[in-house]
Structure 1
Amino acid sequence: MYPLIYFVRHGETDWNAEGRLQGQADTDINAHGRDQADRNGRRLAELIGRGDGFDFVASPMRRTRETMERVRTAMGVEPSAYRTDARLVEVSFGDWQGSTFAEIEAESPGSPKARRRDKWNFQPPGTSAESYEMLRQRILPWLMEVTQKTVCVTHGGIIRTLFRTVAEMPEREAAILSVPQDRVLKLEGQFLDWL
């Protein structure tokens, strides 16, 4: 059983809007992403007030840190009073980072199709690349260490691993799960719910 955790995906970036694989590229949120972060902060304020008794943690990437700071500002609390954890960074797309699938297909015909066959276990080319299963193994120790109520700002890949781990969603379904940037995900016990 897990303690109460609210997850927020970082706000939209230009690369999200362009369909580029970001992975661990350190991109910034755009104007729309800032609006999403502000709205999520207001929603959290409705749910937990100023977050007294909550731990606030984010991926150390720029897009998640800015999202967290905007969330905290909208909650009426000190923007910088949170910590980061490197285990919360997005899945690495290795050599594919920064590319669209059309660009990958043009450069390496058939590669995107190979990924679609088993997106959960597929590892893109490159020494730093990870599959979603590798990401899940990276995030599990962090999840098991959470003992207090928490607000976490992270990435779509991390949230997909939660649905696979906590809700036991099948790999194929978890790998293609749409992860909104304008909603808050609540985890409590063994239940996940979009708010």
Structure 2
Amino acid sequence: MTASRPTIYFIRHGETDWNLEGRLQGQKDIPLNDVGRVQAEEAGRKLKALVSHVEDLAYVASPMTRTRETMEILRETLGLHPEVYRLDDRLVELTFGAWEGMTWKEVRKAEPSLAALREQDKWHYAPPGGGESYAMLVDRVRPILDDLTRDTVIVAHGGVARAFLSICCGVNPRQAASMDIWQGRVLMIEGRSYRWV
């Protein structure tokens, strides 16, 4: 990976009721709640303070409701037309398969041995029922990074942020799988380094 890759301003979607309840959302299409909408505005204000010409950036979002809502609120906060951005299906969150809609507590109770296997190696474990691992997600999102031609705002999901940190910044998989990915903030990825704003 070269340092000449465009800067990425990564924004995780705002809070949903399922985030609040600790439910595994994965590819379930859950809308933002009121807190999530405020977080989208906060991210927009932080981005505006970071970048003087926000209109020159590219804007790409996961096609899920929570990411589109976040992007549209963020763009409105920046004074841009809310609906002028690109969707990329490759940015959807990893799927938790049969576990989607459950809390980790419920998963550990229902399938303790499988939950333990995931704890041993979060990066490579794919949940039952067609779930994806972070390693599989990396393969899915890597081409997006190769396609970037200019500094870009990406609104997506916690799993996607962890994959980007591994690919772009060399964060080791064990660490990346457990990192907090904040809502209402901007994760700035420049070359091999990253910082939260």
Interval of TM-score (by shorter of Structure 1 and Structure 2): over 0.9
Is 1:154 the equivalent of 2:156? Answer: yes
Assess if the C-alpha contact under 8 Å between 1:50 and 1:77 holds in 2: no
Aligned residues: 194
Confirm or deny that 1:22 pairs with 2:29.
Answer: no
Q: Retained in 2: the 8 A contact 1:55–1:148? A: yes
CA distance in 2, matches of 1:50, 1:171: 34
Q: CA RMSD in A?
A: 1.1
CA distance in 1, matches of 2:27, 2:52: 32
Q: 1:94 and 2:97 equivalent?
A: yes
The runs of 5 or more residues in structure 1 that have no matched partner are none
Q: Which string of whole-angstrom CA distances, capped at 9 and with x for unpartnered residues, describes residues 85-104 of structure 1? A: 00000011011111111212
Q: Name the amino acid aligned to 2:39.
A: Q
SS in structure 2 opposite 1:166?
A: helix
Residue in structure 2 matching 1:37, options 37, 40, 56: 40
Counterpart contact for 2:169–2:191, Cα < 8 Å:
no
Is 1:124 the counterpart of 2:127? The answer is yes
- Kindly report which structure 2 residues correspond to 1:65-104, keeping only aligned pairs within 5 A, or say none: 65-104=68-107
Q: Is the 8 A contact 1:50 1:75 kept in 2?
A: no
- Name the SS for the 2:93 alignment partner: coil
2:115 corresponds to which of 101, 109, 112:
112
Report how far residue 50 of structure 1 moved: 5.2
Identity within the alignment, %:
47
Report whether the alignment pairs 1:136 with 2:144.
Answer: no
Instruction: State the secondary structure of the residue aligned to 2:29.
Output: coil
Q: Report the Cα distance in structure 2 between the residues aligned to 1:191 and 1:106, rounded to whole angstroms.
A: 39
1:39-86 Cα distance to aligned partner (Å, 9 max, x none): 111111122245122111100000000000000010011000111000
User: Residues 41 and 184 of structure 2 are in contact (CA less than 8 Å); yes or no, is this contact kept in structure 1?
Assistant: no
Q: Corresponding residue for 1:185? A: 187
User: Is the Cα–Cα contact under 8 Å of residues 59 and 86 in structure 2 kept in the other structure?
Assistant: yes
